[in-house]
Amino acid sequence: MKKILFIGALAFSVAAQAQSSVVFNMLSSDGGMGSARYMALGGAMGALGNDASAASDNPAGIGTYRSSELQIDWQGGLMTRQDPTGIQIPNISYVHVMPVAKGYQLNGFFAFQNDSWSGNQWQSIESNPNERMVDQWLDASQGINGPDELLAAGLLGAYTAYQGYVLEYDEDNNEFFDLSQGLPSQHVTLIKQGFQSNHLIAGASLRTPQLSLGLSRSYSHASAFEALVVDEDGFSGYTSGYTYSQSDSMSITGASSSLGVILRLPLDLQAGMRISMPNVASLDWYSRYRMTARTTNNDSPFELTDKQTWETLPGVSAAFSLAKKFQSKGFIAVEYHRKSLPEQTIISPISAIGIGQDLLDDLVVVEGVRVGMEWRKGPLAYRFGYQQSNAGTQFKDHSGFQRGSVGLGYRSDQASIHLALVSNYRQARIYNPINSDLWTVNALQHQLVIGVNFRV
């Protein structure tokens, strides 16, 4: 019996489809990291500019720079219950200012942005439970004639249970039965998710007395994962216990072009708009099922893996922003973001068996709101921000989030330093793999971002 098996496009379970829609949408609703100033203001800088990390929200904002500037930021996770996020650089950017004529200038820029999130490991421990995961696999195998049909039907969990000595097949009666008999003495469920993205963006912005126009090109790579681990112990029979794990990861690589404008209006108002048109993106989907059973004969673990590569066209995204300035004392800004559904069904091979459409059916439009406020007193600036984005799928995920932030800035003639304290809250709705009860799980993460700007 093979202990490692690679499967093709004809064998995908419903759970794998749902789980992959989760991961796909984690990639779709990137919260957006940036400079300390950007984070402290909740990212609501699309109508203001003067921060290169906001160029992905509106490249026209680069036109508001009066002098060339280099910007570097550091970010670290603070002590929380979830796995700590190590120190990273969320933003490195450079803006070059080129005066053209009185009141006109042409600015060029590039920026590199990095974002990552790792949720805490949600855990449920039950002693002497009255239900077991094994029954889910037995129910799924009803009416299936043999393990080959399990695989062909896409029942990968049940197939892994069979190959991993948790289930056995009775050829005389044409039915599956359990090698782990009775109820377990303990049941443990673990669920974990994570996300990481990298963006490289470059472009230019033309400033006139009444408006700024910006054009940018961005290249991005993002990855996300979700893992489920179920451990049951204390059975009678050939198999006394087992550890079952199922992981699903997806990465996307693509590029997009953005066009933005900032209008300077009466009453010290500024309005910003941006639209982004993506190119076809390449996706890699990797699934892994593993069963390690504790058996009388100490049988080896069984592992089932699959990797698929395909393409999709991400949805068009747009942003609208408005800011009110209070002369040199500060401002308040609001911003709305919208990301439409992918415009094409996922291209073969996945769509050939309908899974591409199944993934799309789980998706919803991603919308977000941002609010930021800055109050200046001398060289100091006090900042507050709030950001919210809905989840990107109807099933379950952690792509939806809320973010609150406070910050402080100090500016001199040649440089400035900025601090931001950011709290991210995410909530997921996860179905219990044993009885399909709906769990609500929460994650809270705190980050400290420090940034330094140097005028060149």
Give the CA angle between residues 97, 102, 105 to the nearest 5°.
25
At 42, is the pLDDT very low, low, confident or very high (cuts 50, 70, 90)? very high
Model pTM score: 0.79
Query: CB count, 10 Å around CB of 263?
Result: 15
Q: Are strands 302-312 and 4-6 parallel, antiparallel or unpaired?
A: parallel
Please tell me which of 69-78, 229-238, 394-403, 435-444 the model is most confident about, judged by mean pLDDT. 229-238
Please, which residues have CB within 8 angstroms of residue 73's CB and are 6 or more apart in sequence? Answer: 34, 35, 36, 53, 89, 90, 91, 92, 418, 449, 450, 451, 452
Q: What is the pLDDT of residue 27?
A: 52
Q: 203, 59 in Cβ contact below 8 A? A: yes
How do residues 155-166 score in pLDDT, each as one tens digit?
A: 888 999 999 999
Q: 187, 231 in Cβ contact below 8 A? A: yes
Give the Å distances, CA to CA, from 195 to 189, 225, 367. Answer: 21, 7, 19
At 1, is the pLDDT very low, low, confident or very high (cuts 50, 70, 90)? very low
Give the Å distances, CA to CA, from 355 to 115, 345, 362. Answer: 29, 9, 11
At 6, is the pLDDT very low, low, confident or very high (cuts 50, 70, 90)? very low
Rg (C-alpha) for the chain, rounded Å, is 26
Q: What is the pLDDT of residue 428?
A: 66
Q: 179, 166 in Cβ contact below 8 A? A: yes
| CATH number of the domain to which 385 belongs | 2.40.160.60
Q: Which domain holds residue 174?
A: 4-455
Query: CB count, 10 Å around CB of 33?
Result: 25
Q: What is the pLDDT of residue 264?
A: 94
CB-count burial class (<10 Å; 0-12, 13-18, 19+) for 139: exposed
Give the percent of the chain with pLDDT over 90. 42
Give the CA angle between residues 354, 355, 360 to the nearest 5°.
105
Helix spans in 51-172 (H): 134-140, 147-152, 156-163
Residue located via tokens 């408005």: 322
Q: Rounded to an integer, what distance in angstroms lies between the CA atom of residue 311 and that of residue 350?
A: 10
Higher-pLDDT residue of 348 and 295 is 295
CB-count burial class (<10 Å; 0-12, 13-18, 19+) for 279: middle
**pLDDT averaged over the chain?**
82
Higher-pLDDT residue of 14 and 30 is 30
Q: What is the pLDDT of residue 195?
A: 76
At 281, is the pLDDT very low, low, confident or very high (cuts 50, 70, 90)? confident
Left (φ > 0), alpha (ψ -120 to 50) or beta: where does 201 sit? Answer: beta
Q: Does the pLDDT at position 275 exceed 60?
A: yes
Residue 349, preceding peptide bond in cis (omega within 30° of 0): yes
Which residues does residue 424 pair with via DSSP β-bridges, in sequence order? 403, 445
Averaged pLDDT, 192-221: 90
Query: CB count, 10 Å around CB of 174?
Result: 11
Which residues does residue 23 pair with via DSSP β-bridges, in sequence order? none
DSSP string, 292-349: EEEETT-PPPEEEEEEEEEEE-PPPEEEEEEEEE-TTSEEEEEEEEEEPPPSSPPPTT
Q: Does the pLDDT at position 332 exceed 70?
A: yes
At 358, is the pLDDT very low, low, confident or very high (cuts 50, 70, 90)? low
Burial 203-212 (b: 16+ CB within 10 A, else e): bbbbbeeebb
Averaged pLDDT, 99-105: 90
Q: Does the pLDDT at position 395 exceed 70?
A: no
DSSP secondary structure letter of residue 378 = T
Averaged pLDDT, 12-18: 40
Q: Does the pLDDT at position 280 exceed 70?
A: yes
Q: 222, 254 in Cβ contact below 8 A? A: no
Lowest mean pLDDT among 47-61, 85-99, 232-246: 85-99
Give the count of domains, the chain.
Answer: 1
Q: What is the pLDDT of residue 345?
A: 52
